[in-house]
A and B are shown apart, each in its own frame.
Chain A
Amino acid sequence: MPFHRFVEIGRVALVNYGADTGKLCTILDVIDQNRVLIDGPFPVTGVKRQQIPIRWLALTDFKVHIGRATRNKALVKAFNGSAITTKFAQSAFGKKLAAKTKRAAMTDFDRFKVMLAKKKRSVLINQELAKLKKAQAKK
């Protein structure tokens, strides 16, 4: 089972713990077995330049082409150049995350709408299922 996501310079990760939970960041340098130096970049994702334990990160599939410990301006250019924010939002990971935050922010009215939509969907499914059963019974 080969690994596809690595802790490396330029790897985009999601912060899973601490004050910046849920924000994307880029790994700028590896300090240690357990710690890395990250930066949002701050103007793009809101994560300041800091040390962070690897345990607090979730690696994504995306990588930015930068050198070791790039400065802010070059990092923003590389990050936006690779369109990481949009690419991440379109990825499966990003979509799941968006769905989770949406679900957590649902009001009772939203839940009501979801209930109605689920009912409609199950009606359609059952109609199709009835057709298939009928076709099977005829055989």
Chain B
Amino acid sequence: RGITTWSWLFECCSLSEASRGEKMTIHQFQVVGRGIPTEKNPNPKLYRMKLFAPNQVVAKSRFWYFLSQIHKLKKTSGQILACHEINEEHPDIVKNYGVWIKYNSRTGTHNMYKEYRDTTINGAVEKMYADMASRHRARFSSIQIVKAEIVPASAVKRPYTLQFINHKIKFPIPHRVQRVSSKSLRSTFVASRPSTFS
């Protein structure tokens, strides 16, 4: 075709303009499944999982991944009865989320407890995945969320989260870099140094 292998690879991997460099948006799903009813077992047990996944397809896939680890059940021998998204009850207040995870590092598997402040549980879990990726190079597939729930302010452990639990919180912006509201207003050169005092 007259193009190099690298440019062909780039074309294959390139994302659309809008999605390039964007974080994966996580949603919470409730997936209910069971084994396919047979003559021996006409009413198989129902299993329900609450999962975090980017979409329903991945949610269903992860459901089978976890189910087959725990029970003698897999996608070919089972059926998914429901896969609904769980929406945030109170997305307009800030909450402290604790996330208990189990993740595979290059040399072993470890448990972790991490805390995030956010308005929604989806946001907190997104932060967790981004945090794990940056700090431990752990990918989505290597992380299992054991539990993700709201932690009351009295039970918060991490100093970073604790410092924001203060109804009289107050801090200045010591070095404010003003952001231009649109690219057309941005200037490459200015006559004098901008002031960073806020």
Which residues of A are at the interface with B, using a C-beta cutoff of 8 A? 1, 3, 5-9, 16-17, 21-22, 29-32, 37, 49, 51, 54-56, 58-59, 67-69
In contact, A31 and B167 (Cβ under 8 angstroms): no
> What residues on B are CB-neighbors of A22 within 8 Å?
181
- Nearest 8 A/B pairs, CB to CB: A3-B172, A8-B170, A21-B181, A29-B94, A6-B170, A68-B167, A69-B93, A49-B92
Please judge, given known A-B contacts A8-B169, A9-B167, whether A31 and B181 are in contact too, CB under 8 Å.
no
Known: A7-B170, A22-B181. 19 other contacts (CB 8 A): A1-B197, A3-B174, A3-B198, A6-B171, A7-B169, A7-B172, A8-B168, A16-B179, A31-B94, A31-B117, A31-B118, A31-B119, A37-B93, A49-B92, A54-B173, A55-B177, A58-B178, A59-B198, A69-B92
Q: Can you give 17 contacting A-B residue pairs, CB < 8 Å?
A: A6-B170, A6-B172, A7-B172, A8-B171, A9-B167, A9-B168, A16-B178, A21-B181, A21-B182, A30-B164, A30-B169, A31-B118, A32-B164, A37-B94, A55-B177, A59-B198, A67-B167
Q: How many residues of B contact A (CB 8 A)?
A: 24
Q: CA–CA, A8 to B117, complex, Å?
A: 17
* B-chain residues with CB within 8 Å of residue A3 when the two chains form the complex: 172, 174, 198
Q: Could you tell me which B residues sit within 8 Å of A by CB distance? A: 92-94, 117-119, 123, 164, 167-174, 177-182, 197-198
Q: Which residue of B lies closest to A54 (CB)?
A: B173
CA distance A6 to B172 in the complex (A): 4
Assess A7 versus B173: contact at CB under 8 Å? Given A31-B119, A55-B179.
yes
* Residues of chain B with a CB closer than 8 A to A37's CB: 92-94, 119
Closest chain A residue, CB of each to CB of B160: A33
- Specify which chain A residues have a CB less than 8 angstroms from the CB of B170 in the assembled complex: 6-8
Instruction: Name the one of B172, B179, B181 contacting A5, with C-beta atoms under 8 angstroms.
Output: B172
CB distance from A127 to the nearest CB of B (A): 31
Q: Which residues of A contact B119 (CB under 8 A)?
A: 31, 37, 51
Chain B residue numbers with a CB within 8 Å of A29 are 93-94
In the complex the two chains form, what is the Cα distance from A49 to B120 in whole Å? 13
Q: Which of A21, A32, A67 contacts B117 (CB 8 A)?
A: A32
Residues of A within 8 Å of B167, CB to CB, are 9, 67-68
